[in-house]
Amino acid sequence: MRFTKMHGIGNDYVYVNCFDQTVDHPEQWARTLSDRHFGIGSDGLILILPSAQADVRMRMFNADGTEGEMCGNGVRCVAKYACEHNLVESRPCVKPHLLELLKSALDDARDHREITVQTGRGVLTLALALINDKVQYVCVDMGEPLLLPGDIPVNVVGQQAVGVPLSIQNQNLLMTCVSMGNPHVVFFCPDVQTVDLEHIGPLIENHRLFPQRTNVHFAQVIAPDEVKIRTWERGSGITLACGTGACAVCVAGTLASKTKRRLTAHLPGGDLQLHWNDQDNHVYMVGPAVELFSGDWTAA
């Protein structure tokens, strides 16, 4: 199996080009390849496939083999791979908001391209900033957040799950829940470094309130336009970054009147720029995508 290792601010995956090869039983391969001692080592496996609905299709599998609906850092890397490895014919990007956000992150790029990616939450549009034919930053139109508890899903009553009490391990927390195509719960706290994430993360992920489990985020507000985040990802554990989670924090911060709609999010692996646009209700995310190395997996 030919593979490529890539990451978005430390959220690393093994990518397989399925335009020219087939991966049977990807759930098993995800567990094997993600192992950081006996495998390649990653937060999961992402397949890049042909699509009848978009330029390419992405399927992502967590390190435990479960399939996820969406990965924000992963989809940026899919766009970079598809563009640089000539899987698709990218187009000049002409969407003003995507261009504005890209240029705010990287103002010396003169080539801006656009592709579409089919994901578990639908077809997304991505804008790419290139320097010397290499994709440096990607802006993703993540679409509208889902806020109805039944759509997230989370088993609470009401039209939104904002500031809902959650008692766990003798701690009384307030949670805000958002779906970005996959479920997220956000807790705002004074200092994310004091959170025992390794212990409390799996307890919340598997709490009875979340019928499909959930991604868990603790966020510290530094300023109205700046947050610090630590994440426990559903199916993967502690990760250096979660793109959909950062988007969920942006939405949750606005709903809870703790942040502005436009944020810089500091994650252990790096920074993301986020904007929950009040004009179209879409969340936009800008961040880097990095290709590390390629190889052939020959072990049985």
Is pLDDT at 300 greater than 70 in this prediction? no
Mean pLDDT score of the chain: 96
Out of 177, 242, 247, 250, which one is annotated catalytic? 242
- Does residue 264 sit within a domain? yes
Asked if residue 190 and residue 92 are part of one domain, the reply reads no
Is pLDDT at 179 greater than 80 in this prediction? yes
Asked if residue 262 and residue 186 are part of one domain, the reply reads yes
Asked if residue 292 and residue 264 are part of one domain, the reply reads no
Q: Can you tell me the mean pLDDT for 63-70?
A: 96
Out of 71, 83, 139, 247, which one is annotated catalytic? 71
Q: Which domain holds residue 257?
A: 164-281
* Predicted pLDDT at 110: 87
- Does residue 152 sit within a domain? no
- Does residue 158 sit within a domain? no
Asked if residue 61 and residue 36 are part of one domain, the reply reads yes
Asked if residue 169 and residue 138 are part of one domain, the reply reads no
Q: What is the CATH number of the domain that holds 33?
A: 3.10.310.10
Q: Is the peptide bond before 153 cis (omega within 30 degrees of 0)?
A: yes
Each residue's pLDDT tens digit, 187-241: 999 999 999 999 999 999 999 999 999 999 999 999 999 999 999 999 999 999 9
- Does residue 156 sit within a domain? no
Q: Can you tell me the mean pLDDT for 12-31?
A: 97
Asked if residue 103 and residue 169 are part of one domain, the reply reads no
- Does residue 147 sit within a domain? no
Asked if residue 23 and residue 94 are part of one domain, the reply reads yes
pLDDT band at 108 (very low <50, low <70, confident <90, very high): confident
- Does residue 95 sit within a domain? yes
Q: Is 242 an annotated catalytic residue? A: yes
State how many domains the chain has: 2
Asked if residue 194 and residue 274 are part of one domain, the reply reads yes
Asked if residue 117 and residue 38 are part of one domain, the reply reads yes
Is pLDDT at 37 greater than 70 in this prediction? yes
* Predicted pLDDT at 169: 85
* Predicted pLDDT at 223: 98
Each residue's pLDDT tens digit, 148-172: 999 999 999 999 999 999 999 888 9
Asked if residue 114 and residue 175 are part of one domain, the reply reads no
- Does residue 96 sit within a domain? yes
Q: How many CA atoms lie within 13 A of 258 on its CB side?
A: 22
Asked if residue 6 and residue 80 are part of one domain, the reply reads yes
Q: Is 71 an annotated catalytic residue? A: yes
Asked if residue 273 and residue 292 are part of one domain, the reply reads no
Q: Can you tell me the mean pLDDT for 285-291?
A: 98
* Predicted pLDDT at 170: 87
